[in-house]
Amino acid sequence: MSGGNRRRVTQRDVARAVGVTSATVSYALNGQPGVSDELRERIAKVADEMGFRPSRLAVGLRLGHTDTIGLLVPDVANPFYPELASGVIEAAAAEGLQVFVSQVGLDGRDQLRVITALVDSHCEGLLLTAVLPEDASMLKELQARRIPFGLINRRIEDLPADWVGIDDFAAAKELVAQVVGSRRSVAIFGGPERSSVSAGRTAGALAALREAGLEPLPDGRAGALTRDSGAERARALFDSQGPVDLVVCGNDVIALGVMDVCYERGLSVPQDVAITGFDDMSFASAGPLRLTSVEVPRQEMGRRAVQTLRRRIAGFDGEAQVVELPYRIRRRSTA
């Protein structure tokens, strides 16, 4: 067969070629009674010659399941999420599941639309990485409709739901306590205030500074989890305060933006400005970068989330499962 744009052969096409009804073709190909052996063989032969392949979704719906789950991420450009998705997809494949990965936007603006589309497409379960407090009513509705879902990384306070992640507060506190030393001028460049992960990391960093008898500089505590955001906040901070001793960043991508500004202004890292990231993305340990960060076990998070969701899909109706994984501080040359 040739032609990349050739129309998919349907069950109706096979029926027309054989001279029977679509129902007869369905009975024959699905091993149902009511079709003679001779006609069944003829239909199978014609279907094979025409290149007919049954729709996975249609077969799944007939059997009562589709073996698909949805993974919702805020931003596929952020390296954290492709690395997390890799763990989800690998674990799902081992469970015989396919994964639809959808982007919902940095502010979660498309979350409801994407969830609705995935549920309408008969996804058997959802994994959400970008929930915000205002999503609580939507998640409660999913629970009321008995649609299985799990949360990865972010969570919503007082909402009992399956969750896999780390203790962001403890990790940030430990990181800052290890690197602050004699530094006295410290800025915190966190992520969005409404994100439970960003809020935990900022609170942990604040706690460590206060135990050291310090208060952070007032600017830039919340912002987007992007390189541009890190650079914009660093320029504003250096313009108003001059170089600072330490910038604690809510993720590794923000830290890259801060480093960009240090280099453009001739500031050495860490001699003039020390910088920490968070997540320990794949680039953090590369070459001359050597970013001090917190290692978040993304592959394991994905694997455990799929296992937990699989139990829900199979009918487990017990209490919410909370899986808190270990993290590791990675001390490198930037701090």
Q: Which residue has the tokens 């306070």?
A: 157
**Mapped to the 3 state alphabet, what secondary structure does the chain carry?**
CCCCCCCCCCHHHHHHHHCCCHHHHHHHHCCCCCCCHHHHHHHHHHHHHHCCCCCHHHHHHHHCCCCEEEEEECCCCCCHHHHHHHHHHHHHHHCCCEEEEEECCCCCCCHHHHHHHHHHCCCCEEEECCCCHHHHHHHHHHHHCCCCEEEECCCCCCCCCCEEECCHHHHHHHHHHHHCCCCCCEEEECCCCCCHHHHHHHHHHHHHHHHCCCCCCCCCCCCCCCHHHHHHHHHHHHHHHCCCCEEEECCHHHHHHHHHHHHHCCCCCCCCCEEECCECCCCCCCCCCCCEEEECCHHHHHHHHHHHHHHHHCCCCCCCCEEECCCEEECCCCC
Among the ranges given (139-143, 204-208, 287-291), the one the predictor scored with the smallest mean pLDDT: 287-291
Is the pLDDT score of 241 beyond 90?
no
pLDDT of residue 102: 93
Q: What is the pLDDT of residue 3?
A: 40
Percent of the chain with pLDDT over 90: 67
Spell out the domain ranges in the chain.
11-54, 66-166+298-327, 168-295
Residue 228 has pLDDT above 70, yes or no: yes
Provide, rounded to the nearest whole percent, the portion of the chain with pLDDT above 70: 94
**Confidence tier at 106 by pLDDT (50, 70, 90):** confident
Mean pLDDT of 261-265: 95
Tokens 């780390």, residue located: 166
Q: pLDDT grade, residue 301 (50/70/90)?
A: very high
Model pLDDT for residues 23-68, shown as the tens digit of each residue: 888 778 877 787 888 888 898 889 888 887 765 545 444 445 578 9
Look-up of token digits 């306590």? 177
Domain boundaries 168-295, corresponding CATH code: 3.40.50.2300
What is the structure's pLDDT at 6? 53
Residue 220 pLDDT more than 90? no
> Residue 285 to residues 278, 330, 334: CA-CA distances in angstroms?
12, 9, 11
pLDDT tens digit sequence for 307-333: 999 999 988 989 999 999 999 999 999
Give pLDDT tens digits for 247-256: 999 999 999 9
Predicted pLDDT of residue 24: 86
Are 92 and 69 in contact, with CB atoms under 8 Å apart?
Answer: yes
Angle at alpha carbon of residue 292, lines to 290 and 295, rounded to 5°: 105
**pLDDT-based confidence at 84, cuts 50/70/90?**
very high
pLDDT at site 4: 42
Tokens linked to 217: 């500089």
Which pTM was predicted? 0.80
CATH class of 11-54: mainly alpha
Could you tell me which residues are beta bridge partners of residue 101? 71
What's the mean pLDDT when you consider all of the chain? Answer: 90
**Cα 185 to the center of its chain, rounded Å:** 34
Amino acid in the structure at residue 24: T
Q: Does position 1 have pLDDT exceeding 90, yes or no?
A: no
**Is residue 167's pLDDT more than 80?**
yes
Q: Do domains 66-166+298-327 and 168-295 have the same CATH topology?
A: yes
The highest-level CATH class for domain 66-166+298-327 is alpha beta
